[in-house]
Amino acid sequence: MGIFQFSYQLEISERSLLRTTTEIDHYNLKNSLWVCMITIFTVGYGDLYPTTQLGRLSMTLGLFYGVALTSLFTAILYADLQPFVSELRSITLLDKASIKIEIRQVAEKILLNFYKLNSYLHRYQIKNSVNDPATLNRINQIQAFLQEGQQLKRY
């Protein structure tokens, strides 16, 4: 709507120039609309431009209108793309639920390895388990799972 208003304003303000000089014949409504569009959208090709003071004032107002319109559009688009508080809460709850599941899985692995280690020690009746490579391997696995569990608790 503003484009048409400023175009008509430019066409009227440049029409007075047509009465005094006959060689300026490029300011019809179509060209005024073109000048107004490239001014409002801050492109400014420079192929057509207002020559009267009133036309320049009109396009200056059109420029301010275009900047305000563009910034308003950008602010509305930015606000619409931001997540709502409820969406952020949902994302946080989903993250917490997935971390709880991962902690539960790590705890299951730790308990399973403790059970396997205990059954291995009882089955073969190993008294000195420090030198046994299978026992050391199982203990290293348990320690790795414990470190993984500690990393998950930090989230």
Q: Which residues contact 22 (CB under 8 A, 6 or more apart)?
A: none
One domain, residues 6 and 77: yes
What are 59's two structure tokens? 């396009």
- Single-letter residue type at 69: L
**Domain region containing 126:** 85-153
One domain, residues 10 and 63: yes
Query: pLDDT by residue for the chain (155 residues), tens digit each?
Result: 888 888 888 888 887 655 665 555 566 788 888 888 888 887 888 888 888 888 899 899 989 998 999 999 999 999 999 988 898 899 999 998 998 898 899 889 888 888 888 888 788 777 666 677 888 888 888 888 888 888 876 65
- Single-letter residue type at 45: Y
One domain, residues 107 and 146: yes
The model's pTM:
0.53
What are 147's two structure tokens? 């470190």
One domain, residues 29 and 11: yes
Domain count, the chain: 2
Domain CATH for 72: 1.10.287.70
Query: DSSP for 89-148?
Result: HHHHHHHHHHHHHHHHHHHHHHHHHHHHHHHHHHHHT-S--SS-HHHHHHHHHHHHHHHH
One domain, residues 77 and 93: no
Residues 59, 50 contacting (CB under 8 angstroms): yes
